[in-house]
């Protein structure tokens, strides 16, 4: 497939992760465009990533093959109504990364014949370890599916869901997920310092432990439960910690938190969208 130009509308955290990941995985910065309302953001992307920048969203549509929508969900309606005529005229492939903005809303604001891929990536795309689930509407052909998938696969795992409703669960699991692991790391660091380790040592030990656990889990065919049991010597230290987690409702808490994130995703579709 020939190299395609990719344009980001909104150059914030997630667009930065995706652009950096794409460049690190071999995409030319010259093939990437980004627009933003903040001049400082554009300046930073020009200086640090060497990509093409513009403060005009329609200019991005004109310049690229694939338009990635990376503004906050709250800004989506206004942006889409602004670019809809250009998107329709150019027959652009549009990829939305916004949480809680449904295919129905995207199609209403962009036009019912526009090819739209809705996806949910996450910020580890920055280090080429992202996880993205994608959903295509009926206007997206196989070549466009490959194109969207290739962009997201350049920065990590990319998989398709047939049922768009599953994206609410994906948002709760992997979209927001990095924050849960950071929260765990934060809490472990604080506990380590309380127990007498210096901050630097605590941070290094927690970081390396998180990386090691994730690597084992990825490389092993065994379940997390079995991997946990391998660390847990009967009557030993891990058992004490795990019992403390379990007695205090750890699994229920995680389930409640993810359910709350999923419900917020559904609620956002209703509040911000046209559903
Ligand atoms: N941050 C995350 O971990 C993830 C975010 N997302 C989704 O990605 C999208 C962007 O999120 P973030 O990057 O975190 O937000 P952000 O606030 O960092 O970036 C949004 C950018 O859009 C710009 N902007 C606002 N109005 C604009 C307009 N009219 N035209 C052009 N640019 C405009 C802002 O100046 C800002 O730089 C959201 O829809 C979010 O749901 C999806 C997965 C993970
Ligand atoms: O917190 C949010 O709404 C976005 C979507 C997933 C991660 N960040």
pLDDT in tens, 2-48: 568 999 999 999 999 999 999 998 999 999 999 999 999 999 999 99
**Would you state the pLDDT for residue 273?**
75
Domains 6-162 and 177-266 share a fold: no
- Give the closest ligand to the alpha carbon of residue 101: 1
Specify whether the CB–CB gap between 7 and 63 falls below 8 A: yes
Q: Which atom of ligand 1 is nearest to the CA of 179?
A: 3
Residue owning the nearest CA to atom 6 of ligand 1: 98
Q: Among 175, 266, 271, say which to mutate for ligand 2: greatest number of ligand atoms within 8 Å of CB.
A: 175
pLDDT of residue 10: 98
pLDDT tens column, 39-94 = 999 999 999 999 999 999 999 999 999 999 999 999 999 999 999 999 999 999 99
In which residue are the tokens 């696969």 written? 153
In this structure, CATH architecture of domain 177-266: Orthogonal Bundle (1.10)
Average pLDDT estimate for 240-261: 98
* β partners of residue 130: 156
pLDDT score of 182 more than 90: yes
Q: Averaged over 215-225, what is the pLDDT?
A: 96
What pLDDT shows up at residue 270?
A: 86
pLDDT score, position 3 = 66
ipTM, two decimals, is: 0.97
Is the pLDDT score of 152 beyond 70? yes
CATH top class, domain 6-162: alpha beta
Quote the ligand 1 centre to 99 CA distance (angstroms).
Answer: 10
**Cα 30 off chain centre by:** 23
Residue ranges per structural domain of the chain = 6-162, 177-266
Pocket test for ligand 2, best of 168, 176, 178, 266 (most atoms within 8 A of CB): 176
pTM of the predicted protein model? 0.93
Three-state SS for 161? coil
Q: Exposed, middle or buried by CB within 10 Å (0-12, 13-18, 19+), for 23?
A: middle
């Amino acid at each position: 497939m020939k190299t395609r130009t990719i344009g980001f509308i909104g150059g914030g955290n997630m667009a930065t992760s995706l652009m950096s990941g794409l460049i690190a995985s071999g995409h030319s910065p010259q093939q990437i465009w980004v627009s933003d309302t903040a001049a400082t953001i554009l300046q930073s992307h020009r200086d640090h990533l060497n990509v093409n920048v513009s403060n005009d969203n329609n200019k991005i549509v004109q310049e690229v093959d694939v338009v990635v929508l990376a503004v906050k969900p709250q800004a989506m309606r206004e942006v889409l109504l602004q670019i809809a005529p250009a998107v329709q005229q150019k027959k652009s492939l549009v990829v939305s990364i916004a949480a809680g903005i449904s295919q129905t809303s995207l199609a209403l604001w962009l036009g019912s014949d526009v090819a739209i891929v809705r996806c949910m990536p996450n910020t580890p795309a920055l280090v080429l370890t992202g996880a993205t689930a994608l959903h295509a509407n009926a206007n997206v052909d196989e070549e466009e599916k490959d194109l969207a998938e290739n962009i997201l696969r350049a920065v990590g795992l990319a998989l398709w869901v047939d049922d768009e409703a599953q994206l609410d669960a994906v948002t709760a699991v992997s979209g927001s997920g990095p924050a849960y692991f950071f929260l765990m790391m934060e809490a472990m660091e604080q506990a380590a310092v309380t127990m007498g380790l210096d901050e630097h040592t605590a941070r290094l030990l927690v970081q390396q432990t998180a990386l090691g656990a994730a690597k084992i889990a990825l490389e092993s065919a065994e379940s997390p439960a079995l991997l946990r049991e391998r660390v847990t010597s009967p009557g030993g230290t891990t058992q004490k910690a795990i019992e403390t987690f379990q007695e205090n409702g750890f699994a229920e808490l995680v389930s409640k938190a993810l359910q709350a994130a999923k419900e917020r995703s559904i609620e956002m579709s209703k509040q911000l969208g046209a559903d």
